[in-house]
């Protein structure tokens, strides 16, 4: 009989659903000492929270997250709220000795993130941040290849995350669904929302960055604010591009925007080493493109590896070789890895401390865009 980890979830939007699906599915596919129990969900609207709880199988609801993080029947708190609430909830949950799974970005800025790290480390509670793209099998496979040393010296890393959903100048900012356009709720625009994913993956695959130079743009400068009813200045970055030096001597190039007409969620990365290059694209997420310099002769070329065989990361848990899985499985994998570490009283990666490194890069990027100078990542 598996031991129980009773989950208290805060927020029932997009990520509330993705995580709940992860908790529900994990028991069917992974053999684990601990299994999640959907104990309670907290949200301000009692009826909506109840409807969510009934649909996904939560036992009860709270309308005040403070009650949820203090409750005796909760072992782990899952933070699925807009970014401006992550720190307050996490610090309170740590005081109550709860394990914490927090959505990305960790915090509004690095100073706030540092306080979150100190809180979980002082309390000694397992913690993780939902940078879920790490756990798409083709991305984890890229990590294994890079760690094996097969690339040799790395020269370049480039990544982009492109969307197009805010081009309409009549779109309001703030409030439900549109909090991402409100700097007070989101912290920043594409830098913290989209580039944070690219940065997390890059730091994981290619190590730390030493400095950055960036430019940002806010194409629509004023929008109606849904909460105040007034037209207000837009404080977020709509687009951001930056260059960086990695500590291993390689050069980085990153771009993100919500103004790339036609692109909904094009996350791609590429890494070029002296012996091998790897390329990945979220739209074709089960494939890893590999160029191996060892494949000399007229047949050399890019290989498209279908990362669906049982010797590929996580794939032995799913279907027969050749059958693909999708976006939602990255959350199932993250739950499984979290639970496995939890059983050993450890944290799975990325921990709050790991995610703070991404926050430091975001801060440096935003500071460079303002000053038009190279900024050290400290």
User: What is the binding site for ligand SOE (CB under 6 A)?
Assistant: 163, 193, 197, 265
Q: Strand runs (DSSP E) across 121-208, as ranges?
A: 127-129, 154-162
The site partner of 83 among ligand SOE, ligand NAI, none (C-beta below 5 to 8 Å per kind) is ligand NAI
The token duo for 209 is 């960055």
Binding mask 32-61 for ligand NAI (x = CB under 6 A): ----------xxx-----------------
The site partner of 81 among ligand NAI, ligand SOE, none (C-beta below 5 to 8 Å per kind) is ligand NAI
> DSSP string spanning 267-311?
EEEEEEESSEEEEEEGGGTTEEEEEETTS-STT--EEEEE--STT
Q: Which residue is nearest to ligand NAI (CB)?
A: 13
How far separated are the first and last CA of the chain, in Å rounded? Answer: 47
Q: Strand runs (DSSP E) across 91-181, as ranges?
A: 99-102, 127-129, 154-162
The site partner of 172 among ligand NAI, ligand SOE, none (C-beta below 5 to 8 Å per kind) is none
Residue with tokens 């699925």: 80
The site partner of 80 among ligand SOE, ligand NAI, none (C-beta below 5 to 8 Å per kind) is ligand NAI
Q: Which of 19, 29, 35, 10 is nearest to 343 (CA)?
A: 35
Q: How far apart are CA 233 and CA 323, in angstroms?
A: 48
The widest CA-to-CA distance across the chain, in whole angstroms, is 66
Report the residue number, 342 or 352, with the smaller CB distance to ligand SOE. Answer: 352
The site partner of 12 among ligand NAI, ligand SOE, none (C-beta below 5 to 8 Å per kind) is ligand NAI
Q: How far apart are CA 213 and CA 278, in angstroms?
A: 25
Phi, psi angles (nearest 5°) of residue 10? -115, 120
On whether the CB atoms of residues 242 and 256 are closer than 8 A, the answer is no
The site partner of 323 among ligand NAI, ligand SOE, none (C-beta below 5 to 8 Å per kind) is none
Report the residue number, 211 or 238, with the smaller CB distance to ligand NAI. Answer: 238
Q: Applying CB under 6 A, which of residues 30, 34, 82, 217 lies at the interface with ligand NAI?
A: 82
The token duo for 160 is 């982009």
Q: How far apart are CA 204 and CA 191, in angstroms?
A: 18
The site partner of 287 among ligand NAI, ligand SOE, none (C-beta below 5 to 8 Å per kind) is none
On whether the CB atoms of residues 234 and 221 are closer than 8 A, the answer is yes
In whole angstroms, how close is the CB of 299 to ligand NAI at the nearest point?
Answer: 38
Q: Applying CB under 6 A, which of residues 65, 141, 157, 352 lies at the interface with ligand NAI?
A: 65
In whole angstroms, how close is the CB of 174 to ligand SOE at the nearest point?
Answer: 16
11 lies in the binding site for ligand NAI (CB under 6 A): yes
The site partner of 265 among ligand SOE, ligand NAI, none (C-beta below 5 to 8 Å per kind) is ligand SOE
Report the residue number, 15 or 120, with the smaller CB distance to ligand SOE. Answer: 15
Report the residue number, 69 or 239, with the smaller CB distance to ligand NAI. Answer: 69
302 Cβ contact partners less than 8 Å away, ≥ 6 residues apart: 279, 289, 290, 291
Q: How far apart are CA 242 and CA 252, in angstroms?
A: 8
Report the residue number, 163 or 257, with the smaller CB distance to ligand SOE. Answer: 163
Binding mask 156-195 for ligand NAI (x = CB under 6 A): ---------------------x---------------x--
Q: How far apart are CA 227 and CA 267, in angstroms?
A: 31
Report the residue number, 193 or 237, with the smaller CB distance to ligand SOE. Answer: 193
The residue ranges that bind ligand NAI (CB under 6 A) are 10-16, 42-44, 65, 80-83, 85, 103-104, 130, 132, 177, 193
């Amino acid at each position: 009989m598996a031991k129980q980890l009773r989950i208290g979830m805060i927020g029932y939007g997009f990520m509330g659903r993705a995580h709940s699906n992860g908790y529900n599915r994990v028991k069917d596919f992974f053999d684990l000492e601990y299994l999640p129990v959907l104990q309670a969900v907290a949200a301000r609207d009692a009826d909506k929270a109840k409807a969510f709880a009934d649909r996904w199988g939560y036992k009860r609801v709270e309308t005040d997250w403070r009650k949820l993080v203090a409750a005796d029947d909760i072992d782990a708190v899952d933070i699925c709220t807009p970014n401006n609430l992550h720190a307050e909830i996490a610090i309170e949950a740590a005081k109550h000795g709860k394990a914490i799974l927090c959505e990305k970005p960790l915090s509004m800025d690095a100073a706030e993130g540092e306080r979150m790290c100190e809180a979980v480390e002082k309390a000694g509670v397992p913690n993780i941040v939902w940078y879920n793209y790490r756990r798409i099998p083709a991305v984890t496979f890229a990590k294994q290849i890079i760690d094996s040393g097969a690339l040799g010296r790395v020269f370049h890393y480039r990544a982009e995350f492109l969307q197009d959903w805010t081009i309409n100048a009549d779109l309001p900012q703030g409030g439900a669904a549109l909090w991402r356009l409100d700097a007070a709720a989101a912290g920043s625009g594409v830098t913290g929302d989209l580039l944070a994913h690219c940065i997390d993956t890059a730091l994981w695959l290619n190590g730390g960055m030493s400095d950055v130079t960036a430019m940002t743009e806010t194409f629509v400068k004023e929008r109606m604010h849904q909460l105040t009813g007034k037209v207000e200045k837009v404080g977020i970055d709509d687009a951001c591009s930056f260059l960086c030096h990695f500590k291993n001597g390689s050069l980085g190039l990153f771009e993100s925007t919500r103004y790339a007409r036609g692109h909904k969620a094009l996350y791609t990365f590429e890494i070029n080493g002296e012996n091998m290059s790897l390329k990945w694209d979220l739209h074709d997420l089960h494939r890893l493109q590999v160029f191996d310099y060892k494949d000399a002769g007229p047949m050399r070329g890019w290989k498209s590896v279908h990362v669906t065989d049982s010797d590929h990361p996580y794939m032995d848990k799913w279907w027969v070789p050749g059958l693909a899985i999708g976006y939602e499985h990255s959350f199932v994998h993250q739950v499984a890895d979290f639970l496995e570490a939890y059983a050993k009283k450890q944290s799975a990666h990325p921990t709050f401390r790991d995610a703070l490194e991404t926050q430091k890069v975001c801060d440096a990027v935003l500071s460079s865009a303002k000053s038009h100078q190279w900024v050290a990542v400290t």
